[in-house]
Structure 1
């Protein structure tokens, strides 16, 4: 339920107290339950509090909302009109609560995901959909640099990246650790090997992702540390395009 304190405005030297949700809720409960005692039980506050809230409303506007007959109360004609209004407000308040509660518990809403590739994110999507079937999921892909920027620009809600530097603005966790994989055509001399040493890549033509790719950054760092100089390097903008380039015989590919 919504609870609001008095809003105080200054106008022409007078202090003006505006109607509050607390007063509306108090009136509505009394009208709905048929008395102040019953209303106090529903709202779980003392009866004097309910009485003072309704009285403040009546005194400020100079009106009467209830006919008081001992312990019984009846709505005045104005009270009946006001009760119709507060009923609509109560319905909207409940709708607001349900909307926020559903979103907070992932029963509804949307989740925008940025990913460097489809491999891991599809597994995450399947698990998320199974747990939260009412959540709308959308995915956009790109290299780690582009997806990190999308996350910081609030264009995605979560990002699945190959690598990330410490950043106080972000929370991150490791989902999986994967090795870099070299792949070649079946007709290539290295195709029958179970493992390849870095020095064997010296002078080889490589097909790599664009400079913003963390896969490429990790691979080039390993080459530099081993003092290996490859041959020509083809730059391709997506994982799938790297696969196609290798299939066309343009060079050796490296992926995670």
Structure 2
């Protein structure tokens, strides 16, 4: 009798198929909330919002800023990126907007950059574009600009069940070359289906550091070695980790690739 009861409890704990019979664990990505969306807009985040009033995002003290970011107008630049992304999404009814950025700063606590951007937009009433709210999501694992792109493509697939037809990245003008010529190429994304919308950088530190970052990605296009790896590790103080390849099986070989030349395999978007 004890054995029968034990078996009954095990069967009761198993997930059920549609016909009510025990089955395999359902893939968490099997549910795609917005399958009708076709294009991807990425706002690459640059800081964690640490304030308590999301209606005051242009106050510098509302953000956890690095030393080189402590310049007048820096908070406004973040808000500008958020607003540009929202407006672009409002103008394209088939677009999904992702704020991309992880829990990157220990002193800021376990808050993601992406969540802060989303809440700022929510507090601003989406700048009069409230209808876009259901098309705006977050990607909360990225630790650098390449991951902003790769993880956002994976997140888009999770949310829609297919790959984007077109990608638009919103960020600083100075990073356009990095995204368009290095990261896009590393992802083997077709150039004609990729665009970048940049705003002016407000701090000299970012301008001075970009040349070095570009050279580092030229030598290490997937950010797996040396200074680029060290930066990623430093930007993961809560051990959240990268996007697991299992979340996007078709991207698994690319997400785990660490070569110094372009990924040699085929990717699903090359077949679209």
TM-score (norm 2): 0.25
Q: Which protein, 1 or 2, shows the higher relative CO under an 8 Å CA cutoff with sep ≥ 6?
A: 2
Bigger proportion of residues as strand: 1
Structure having the higher helix fraction is 2
Rg larger for = 1
